[in-house]
Amino acid sequence: MEDDGPHKADVVVVLAGDEYGTRVLRGAELARAGYAPYVLVSENVRFGSASCQPSINYAIEKGFSAKLFRDFPNNADSTREEAAKIDSYLKQHDVHSILLVTSNFHTRRAAALMRAQDSNVRVSVVPAPDPYFGPGTWWKSRNAQKTFLLEWMKTIATWLGM
């Protein structure tokens, strides 16, 4: 797990793929604490809709202001493709530093892919907790074991350029 800790940044970027809302809540906490002016919420197309609104609505229901969020719907089917799409946004909006928020098990691979997009963007990773995966206890539950194995398979595929 990679954890750079929060730093001042131009934007908080929350990656897609969180089924539990912990990523968007962690991103919102960082923005509300003043680390960045807003949270860019990336989300994949689901149920025929390219909207980040369910994730954003969840954070609003938990007490965060709607003004903290900008949605970034996309049809990326991998973290590599999502990083490329986010990088285009960052270039268009003259962003030079981000706080990258993703699940604790996903931080190292996601950070490497994001950094590979543009060496001029400072990427600091802040992990969001996963309710079923603890970095120090992953071998104790079947769900965590599956998450660990799947993430390692994806990491190897990333190393191979897949």
User: 51 or 112: whose pLDDT is higher?
Assistant: 112
Domain housing 81: 11-132
Give the pTM: 0.88
Q: Is residue 99 part of a domain?
A: yes
Residues 6+ apart with CB under 8 A from 93: 11
User: Considering its fold, how many domains does the chain have in total?
Assistant: 1
Kindly report each contact of residues 48-55 with a partner whose C-beta sits within 8 Å and lies 24 or more positions away, as own/partner. Answer: 50/74, 50/75, 55/14, 55/18, 55/21, 55/23, 55/24
Residue 6: per-residue pLDDT: 94
Q: Is residue 121 part of a domain?
A: yes
Q: Is residue 51 part of a domain?
A: yes
Q: Number of helices and strands (H, E) in the chain?
A: 5, 5
Q: Which helix (H) or strand (E) holds 64?
A: none
Q: Is residue 55 part of a domain?
A: yes
Q: Is residue 104 part of a domain?
A: yes
Rounded to the nearest 5 percent, the helix, strand and coil shares of the chain are 45, 20, 35
pLDDT at 47 over 70: no
The total of other beta-carbon atoms located within 10 Å of residue 3's CB is: 13
CATH code at position 125 = 3.40.50.620
Q: Is residue 79 part of a domain?
A: yes
162, burial (CB in 10 Å: exposed 0-12, middle 13-18, buried 19+): exposed
pLDDT at 106 over 90: no
Q: Is residue 85 part of a domain?
A: yes
Instruction: Report d(CA 14, CA 85) in Å as an integer.
Output: 13
Predicted confidence (pLDDT) per residue in 73-104, tens digit = 888 888 888 999 999 999 999 999 999 999 98
Q: Is residue 2 part of a domain?
A: no
Contact 112, 123 (CB under 8 A): no
